A = this chain, B = another copy of it.
């Protein structure tokens, strides 16, 4: 059913890569070691799911890809920054990311904090300098900031740290996931719709779609952490449990967690429309939602 979306996503990730490189190369006035740390953080692989969503959602509302591209780069920059800071010793304390040393392991803690800061800041610069009309860019910037900030990703990470070692119910786990993962995935979808000039109702639909997809994504992440081979995962497995993290399988067990992820993915797909008769731009979004729960890394 969603068998073609894996290759589609790989192709989208490949097409994005030179643009990510270009954005980093344009920071020529930055100290060399800082640019290296930023490249290490951003160019070491990654599924590029968020930028793919921005572009696919822009197409779904009938927008132009060039208007959405800065949004695609911006959400990946924000995602990259969040991984660098989350991996710090004072946070999740991870040594390995995508099969390579984390930024603080390779460059030291001070540079890891600063490289993350620079990536986050760069996201807003890239967005502001894009070719879309100013009104759309301002709306996209507000969306990105809200999703990334204290009420979104940063808030989710704070709740995550606070919940460590505690016995968490499903509501608490879901609140953490909404902040730390679903907020940016939903924002990616809305930003694609906004930069593409989509009507308000269509942007709302994209937000609902992205929220359900985002929750499904994080549940699957939690499940993979429990069951995967670290070589496939590109990072240490079973770390959530070791750290006493609040996770879906921790709260309801693996099987119920997987069922919940599947039902959220189907909910996401339904926001886009019926399976029969959906236009190709919508089908890609539906397939992406299903792909999220079928992936193995």
Contact = CB atoms under 8 A, between A and B. Distances in A.
A279 interface: no
Interface in A128-162: 128-129, 133-135, 137-139, 141-142, 144-146, 148-151, 154-155, 157-159, 161-162
B122 A120 contact: no
B148 A121 contact: yes
Number of identical protomers: 2
Given A35-B150, A88-B113, A108-B90, A145 B158 contact: no
A58 B227 CA distance: 58
Contact of A33 (B135, B149, B158): B158
A145 B125 contact: yes
Nearest to A123: B145
A38 interface: yes
A154 B121 contact: yes
A29 interface: yes
Given A85-B113, A108-B90, A149 B125 contact: yes
A44 interface: no
Contact of A31 (B31, B35, B155): B155
B118 A120 contact: no
A125 B142 contact: yes
Q: Contact residue range for chain A? A: 35 or more
A97 to B, nearest CB: 17
Contact of A122 (B29, B110, B111, B145): B145
Contact of A151 (B30, B108, B149, B159): B30
A149 B128 contact: no
A120, A129, A151, A157 pick with most chain B CB within 10 angstroms: A151
Given A110-B161, A128-B145, A141-B128, A117 B151 contact: no
A256 interface: no
Interface in A1-57: 27-31, 33-35, 38
B85 A157 contact: no
Interface of A: 27-31, 33-35, 38, 81, 85, 88, 90-91, 108-111, 113-114, 116-118, 120-122, 124-125, 127-129, 133-135, 137-139, 141-142, 144-146, 148-151, 154-155, 157-159, 161-162
Contacts of A148: 121
26 contacts: A27-B149, A28-B151, A31-B150, A31-B155, A33-B158, A38-B150, A81-B117, A90-B108, A90-B110, A91-B110, A114-B154, A114-B157, A114-B158, A116-B117, A117-B120, A118-B154, A120-B120, A121-B150, A121-B154, A124-B145, A127-B141, A128-B138, A128-B139, A128-B145, A129-B142, A141-B141
